[in-house]
């Protein structure tokens, strides 16, 4: 099984971050933006698996999930998608331990900035970068800086969407763009390894 993403085969690089952020967000069972996440999953140009809130247990011991597909995917992409989903779940578990370091006031302020329709996408990325800078000193000392920044970026997206579910689409797109600009090499290496 080849999990390379940079050699042109398999999952396209621009969709890797979409799947990672989506998988991270849907790893949480206590979010208030389920309907918005479901709608987002239908718009993504890659396969996504969204667990039902009812989380029905199947006879094989697995949980029921809905499956959305919008485009043709390369033959080895399904295994890559599973790898990305597993990485997203792991990062969400680590994020649970870091969650307390994001103050609710910061989340409310960031949500207010995302509600400002006069801000450009670049302005929103800068707002996200500023929020990350504010919480940088709370990163675990024993964790790689890039890993901590990636988790905190996705945690901020989750918290903003949880605070204001109507912002999910905007905060998702900005988060993906921010990660692609600042942390994509780290994300690509996570998938490769």
Mean pLDDT to the nearest integer, 70-91: 71
Backbone angles phi, psi at 65, to 5 degrees: -145, 155
**CATH, residue 103:** 1.10.437
110 found inside a domain: yes
Condensed to tens digits (0 to 9), the pLDDT of residues 165-174 reads: 999 999 999 9
**Any domain includes 128:** yes
Give me the domain span that covers residue 60: 13-192
The verdict on residue 6 lying in a domain is no
Residue 102 has pLDDT above 80, yes or no: yes
SS (H, E, C) 141-189: CCCCHHHHHHHHHHHHHHHHHHHCHHHHHHHHHHHHHHHHHHCHHHHHH
- 9 versus 45: the higher-pLDDT residue is 45
Q: What is the pLDDT of residue 152?
A: 97
Residue 42 maps to a domain? yes
Q: How many domains does the chain have?
A: 1
| 131: in domain | yes
Residue-wise pLDDT for 14-71, tens only, equals: 689 999 999 999 998 777 898 999 999 888 876 565 554 444 433 333 333 333 333 3
Assess whether pLDDT exceeds 60 at residue 4.
no
């Amino acid at each position: 099984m080849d999990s390379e993403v940079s050699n042109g085969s398999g999952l396209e690089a621009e969709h890797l971050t979409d799947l990672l952020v989506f998988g991270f967000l849907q790893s949480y069972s206590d979010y208030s933006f389920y309907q918005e996440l479901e709608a987002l999953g239908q718009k993504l140009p890659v396969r996504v698996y969204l667990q039902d809130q009812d989380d029905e247990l199947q006879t094989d011991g697995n949980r029921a999930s809905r499956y959305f597909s919008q485009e043709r995917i390369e033959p080895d992409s399904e295994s890559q998608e599973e790898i990305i989903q597993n990485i997203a779940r792991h990062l969400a578990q680590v994020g649970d331990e870091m969650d307390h370091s994001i103050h609710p006031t910061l989340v409310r302020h960031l949500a207010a900035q995302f509600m400002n329709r006069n801000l450009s996408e670049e302005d929103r990325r800068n707002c996200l970068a500023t929020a990350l800078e504010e919480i940088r000193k709370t990163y675990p000392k024993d964790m790689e800086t890039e890993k901590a920044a990636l988790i905190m970026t996705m945690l901020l997206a989750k918290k903003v969407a949880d605070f204001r579910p109507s912002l999910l689409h905007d905060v998702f797109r900005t988060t993906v763009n921010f990660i692609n600009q600042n942390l994509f090499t780290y994300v690509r290496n996570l998938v490769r390894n």
